[in-house]
Amino acid sequence: MKFFVYDKSFDGLLTAVFDAYFRKTFPDDLLSEGDALPLFYDELHTVVTDEEKAGRVWRGLQKKVSTSALGCLTQSWLSELPEVGMLIFRYIRKAIDSPRSIETNFGDPDVLRLAQIWKKVDGERVHLMQFVRFQKAADGTFFAAFEPQYNALPLTVHHFKDRFADQKWIIYDMKRRYGFYYDLQEVTTISFDDDSRESHLITGMLDESLMDKDEKLFQQLWKTYFKAICIKERMNPRKHRQDMPVRYWKYLTEKQK
């Protein structure tokens, strides 16, 4: 058995592909730095992430598959599923070695599985845009929090920047402890820790003392509206959970007591 160890980054994965072709040795599996090594193996190679090598692989891949297929790979990577690294590695190898595009060959289990993962991540992207509930802080900044199953927040930044271009906002992934801040000019990545002065935001909800003076009223009006349009006789809890996953309820204004 042959194993490659890499830093669990996308550039690291592309570098692993480059190393495999250069060494003419292809791994049976990829391990992350810090993973326990198997008891028995024939070869172990540590991949040193190299942007130039990664770029060469990516440019080569651009000649073999479409832009949408490349987007499928990068979006599937955001699933953070344990097997996704090796899936993408095998896909890239097949794409490079094949005389024709493999992207619609759903008879190949790797192509099919990546398409399924892409669909799940894209569904999470849509949910993030559907269920955003901004809270307005006293300084005029709008704050929204989520706990997405997949790391889909980066896929929504363009939407939020375009949709809310005239207001400052923060969208934050509570599960992964990072987010994005838009200051009316550009979007930057941010992270709050327990010791920072913004640590109260880790709860995902603004404290009333930090809310804009009209925010509490707006929230109450939204709850009243939501309650008014709910027809008790037509309630279908199972369908409700299917359309609005329970993991989003914690940060929905209408679900707050």
Mean pLDDT over residues 144-168, rounded?
Answer: 93
* Domain final position from 123, 158, 180: 123
| Shared-domain flag, residues 18 and 86 | yes
The highest-confidence range among 16-30, 165-179, 180-194, by mean pLDDT, is 16-30
Query: With the C-alpha atoms ordered 201, 202, 204, 209, is the resulting torsion angle positive or negative?
Result: negative
42-78: pLDDT as tens digits: 899 999 999 999 999 999 999 999 999 999 999 999 9
Q: How is residue 165 written in tokens?
A: 């271009």
**Rounded to an integer, what distance in angstroms lies between the CA atom of residue 171 and that of residue 173?**
7
Residue 225: count of CB within 10 angstroms of its CB:
11
The residue segments making up the domain with residue 80 are 2-123
pLDDT at residue number 112: 97
* Domain final position from 123, 153, 178: 123
Q: How is residue 172 written in tokens?
A: 């934050």
For 56, the enclosing helix (H) or strand (E) is helix 51-62
* 17 closest CA partner among 52, 43, 53: 53
| Shared-domain flag, residues 85 and 189 | no
Are the CB atoms for 205 and 135 separated by under 8 Å? yes
Mean pLDDT of the chain: 83
pLDDT at residue number 254: 47
Place 114 in a pLDDT band, splitting at 50, 70 and 90. very high
86-109: pLDDT as tens digits: 999 999 999 999 999 999 999 999
pTM here is: 0.79
209-219: pLDDT as tens digits: 444 455 454 44
pLDDT > 90 in the chain, percent:
58
| Shared-domain flag, residues 117 and 89 | yes
The identity of residue 147, as a single letter, is: E
Number of domains in the chain: 2
Q: How is residue 227 written in tokens?
A: 């309650």
| Shared-domain flag, residues 119 and 144 | no
